[in-house]
Amino acid sequence: MSATTICENAKSISVPSAKIDVSLVEDEHTLARLRPEWNALVDRTLNEPFYRYEFIRSWLENFKPQTPLKLLIGREPGGRLVALLPLIEERVRMFGVPIRQWTSPTNVQSARFDLVAEDKTAAANAFFCLLRKLDGWDLLCLMDIPPTGAALEFQTIARNNGFPLGLYEAQRSVYVSLPSSVEDLQATLGAKFRGNLRRRRRMLEARGEVSVEHITGGPDLQKRLEECFAMEQSGWKGQHGEPANGDPRIHGFYSALARHAARTGALSLYRLLLDGRPVAFHYGLIQNGTYSLLMTSYDESLRDCGPGHLLVAEVLERCIESGHREFDFLGCDLEWKRAWSQTSRQHVWLFMFRNSLRGYVVHNLKFKLTPTAKRLMAYWKKV
């Protein structure tokens, strides 16, 4: 059965392995009522924190509170939720052309994004059929899809139906596959690196008592978060990046997310203390045996002691002792992360344009003319 045939009825779409009834949710009240079903679907499928209702809702409320919601949901005929794709509507310009863009609710704070579905092929087909019947968009943009992402199913479907499509290689995220013992982990690090860790530990201990604090919630959670945010702002990120204390949207997002995660037991905030004072922190979430590091910083006045690396070592050991299977650094593959692992995941952005004159024009500008112009400029710089 072809994708074109499948699209004959976008409200009840039959595919070879499933039948999905699709609909578009645009109001906040319906979104709130979906919470139990939403999280149950995530637990059955991707089982990562970035796709849970609380993560997406916290992001929407802090970064795009006034932006129109476009949530695609898919249900079995009996009513069980089996697929969802949260989107927001934005009006942007690409190469001077006004575009109605339906995009993933993501930014640099989001880590990754994907279509959530029990049957990714059936869900992508069903949602594509609904999208082609809706007139409110020119571009579907999904950011930071992981290598095995269900959303990549849109590639084949779009091409089979004549919709222009392009992929952009985005961030590559480092991760550590955790061994069964701390000794096995240390064996992968190399003698020089281990020696540097021991030397830095001695340097820090020479300045005072070193300890590690693990926070999973409690009445002082926000106070401890504020201390971490202040540390982040005092360092490199405060001068060159986007610290939480420098942007109320970022501050609100991480504060709300921490409260939600604490209620479900997913929050894992580690702090390295020197005489009781925090000198490094990890803001992480734990789900399905994976520790996901969303935010980290350290006191840069102690740079020579390497408090950031020392805390990574402590958290890795505790993850192994807890039986976790992976430590995910998230974000870009910075040099300090590669010191711990050479394995990484390449994430991509997917652009699917409507098969209209506007869609073809902007697609050609972005994925054909612009890359060609860049190659020519690079060539002429060499000659």
pLDDT digits (tens, 9 = 90+) for 246-271: 899 999 999 999 999 999 999 999 99
Q: Between 109 and 383, name the one with better pLDDT.
A: 109
What is the per-residue pLDDT for 377? 61
Equal fold, 3-171+347-382 vs 179-324: yes
- pLDDT tens, residue by residue, 136-153: 999 999 999 999 999 999
* pLDDT of 120 over the 70 cut: yes
* pLDDT of 354 over the 90 cut: yes
What is the per-residue pLDDT for 378? 59
State the average pLDDT for the chain.
Answer: 91
* pLDDT of 23 over the 50 cut: yes
What is the per-residue pLDDT for 17? 42
User: What is the percent of the chain where pLDDT is above 90?
Assistant: 83
* pLDDT of 12 over the 80 cut: no
Q: Which CATH superfamily is domain 3-171+347-382 in?
A: Gcn5-related N-acetyltransferase (GNAT) (3.40.630.30)
Domain map of the chain by residue range?
3-171+347-382, 179-324
What is the per-residue pLDDT for 13? 38
- pLDDT tens, residue by residue, 363-376: 999 888 776 656 55
* pLDDT of 42 over the 70 cut: yes
Q: Between 254 and 6, name the one with better pLDDT.
A: 254
SS (H, E, C) the chain: CCHHHHCCCCCCEEECCEEEEEEEECCHHHHHHCHHHHHHHHHHCCCCHHHCHHHHHHHHHHHCCCCCEEEEEEECCCCCEEEEEEEEEEEEEECCEEEEEEECCCCCCCCCCCCEECCHHHHHHHHHHHHHHCCCCCEEEEEEECCCCHHHHHHHHHHHCCCCEEEEEEEEEEEEECCCCHHHHHHCCCHHHHHHHHHHHHHHHCCCCEEEEEECCCCCHHHHHHHHHHHHHHCHHHHHCCCHHHCHHHHHHHHHHHHHHHHHCCEEEEEEEECCEEEEEEEEEEECCEEEEEEEEECHHHHHHCHHHHHHHHHHHHHHHCCCCEEECCCCCCHHHHCCCCCEEEEEEEEEECCCHHHHHHHHHHHHHHHHHHHHHHHHHHC
Q: Into which CATH architecture does domain 179-324 fall?
A: 3-Layer(aba) Sandwich (3.40)
